[in-house]
Homo-oligomer: A and B are copies of this chain.
Amino acid sequence: MAEEIGERAQHLLKVLVESYIRNGQPVGSRLLARDSGLDVSAATVRNAMADLEELGMVSSPHTSAGRIPTNKGYRMFVDSLLTVKPLTDREIMTLNGQLGVDGSNQELAASVSDYLAGMTEMAGMVMIPRTAKRSSLRHIEFMPLSDHRILAILVINEKDVQNTVIRVDRQYTTAELQQAANFLNSELAGRELFDVRHRILKELRETKDGMEQMMHQAISMAEQVFEQPASKSNADDFILSGQTRLMGFEELSNMEKLRGLFEAFNEKQEILQLLDRCLDGDGVQIFIGDESGYGVLDECSMVTSSYQVDGEVLGILGVIGPTRMAYERVIPIVDVTAKMVSAALAQSK
């Protein structure tokens, strides 16, 4: 491209973004000339600003205000200009304290989300994907409820519990259910959920000719349990905390926008789709403003990272805050948190 950005222009953009992030005020040429550390006059800076404006990196709210970064400007900033500020030992200690290895995954996620929110003063989030690929079924158990409803309890990964209610065509006795569970446990326990869902059940169904009545029924129960994407667990796999902090930001004081954002949080659906997109990416990923494509996030940025064990992505965590956030601080926080969560999970395996 002919429209390469010069060394100095880059540096000016960097200083401008930093200044704007700090003060929230448009940055004028005079101030910028002084703060840049460069030995140039305001007029020179103005020329550079004109160039940056042409490239869409900055814009002025109106004629006689300074410049503010555009989303594209922020993007350039985080991609190539930013100098991250490593965490202090103290901050790392705090996190370590929170990562108890002995809670359920839900509890772990909640405490990590809190930590992220607390450290960044924004909203923290942790997502556990619906089908964590490496999940293995430890145990299945049935319990009769009223009428033709049966409670199925799955223990997954030695740690997490999932309840599902299924409906059947007749009443079953506790003993019958016990028998069915025994059968299924012998066939399925220890397998990975993914396998159970897609392979094992099919296999069983196909070879069931010689089986007795009870087994047939056990299999069809299991199908019900595993088929549905588990509406309840679906809702539980995204934990958000500290949303209310977002109400403190100037740039989110528009009630309409804010309301849209909170409704999106309640729906969860849109946010989840967005996070799904991060699953493949490596390291810290950032959505700035409207890059996400979701209108409600227009004034926001998301900084996310996946956490993983043995190279296998287990989920996504990160923060949501106003576009004007302290990236140089937030990015290492998210990065380190993801790594420590990964480590903690690996250890508890």
Contacts and interface: CB of A to CB of B under 8 A. Distances in A.
A258 B262 contact: no
A143 B153 contact: yes
Contact of A247 (B104, B155, B248, B259): B259
A312 interface: no
A284 interface: no
Nearest to A149: B102
A263 to B, nearest CB: 5
Interface in A75-94: none
Given A259-B244, A262-B243, A145 B155 contact: yes
A143 B247 CA distance: 44
Interface stretch (A159-167, A195-203, A287-295): A159-167
Contact of A158 (B146, B244, B255, B263): B146
A104 B159 CA distance: 24
A253 interface: yes
Contacts of A258: 247
A194 to B, nearest CB: 21
Interface in A92-114: 102, 104
Interface string A244-283: 1001100001010011001100100000000000000000
A298 interface: no
A151 interface: yes
Interface string A149-181: 101010100110101010000000000000000
A247 B255 contact: yes
A158 B143 CA distance: 10
A247 to B, nearest CB: 4
A253 B254 CA distance: 10
B165 A104 contact: yes
A139 interface: yes
A223 interface: no
A141 interface: yes
Nearest to A160: B145
A159 B146 CA distance: 7
B151 A143 contact: no
A163 B161 contact: yes
Contacts of A104: 165
A233 to B, nearest CB: 13
A234 to B, nearest CB: 14
Contact of A151 (B145, B155, B165): B155
Which 8 interchain pairs have the tightest Cβ spacing? A146-B158, A247-B259, A244-B262, A244-B263, A161-B163, A244-B259, A247-B255, A145-B158
13 contacts: A102-B149, A141-B141, A141-B153, A143-B153, A143-B155, A153-B153, A161-B163, A163-B163, A247-B255, A247-B259, A247-B262, A248-B255, A253-B255
Given A151-B161, A153-B161, A253-B255, 20 more contacts: A104-B165, A139-B143, A141-B141, A141-B153, A143-B155, A145-B158, A145-B159, A146-B158, A146-B159, A153-B153, A163-B163, A243-B262, A244-B263, A244-B266, A247-B255, A247-B258, A247-B259, A247-B262, A248-B255, A248-B259
Interface of A: 102, 104, 139, 141, 143, 145-146, 149, 151, 153, 155, 158-159, 161, 163, 165, 243-244, 247-248, 253, 255, 258-259, 262-263, 266
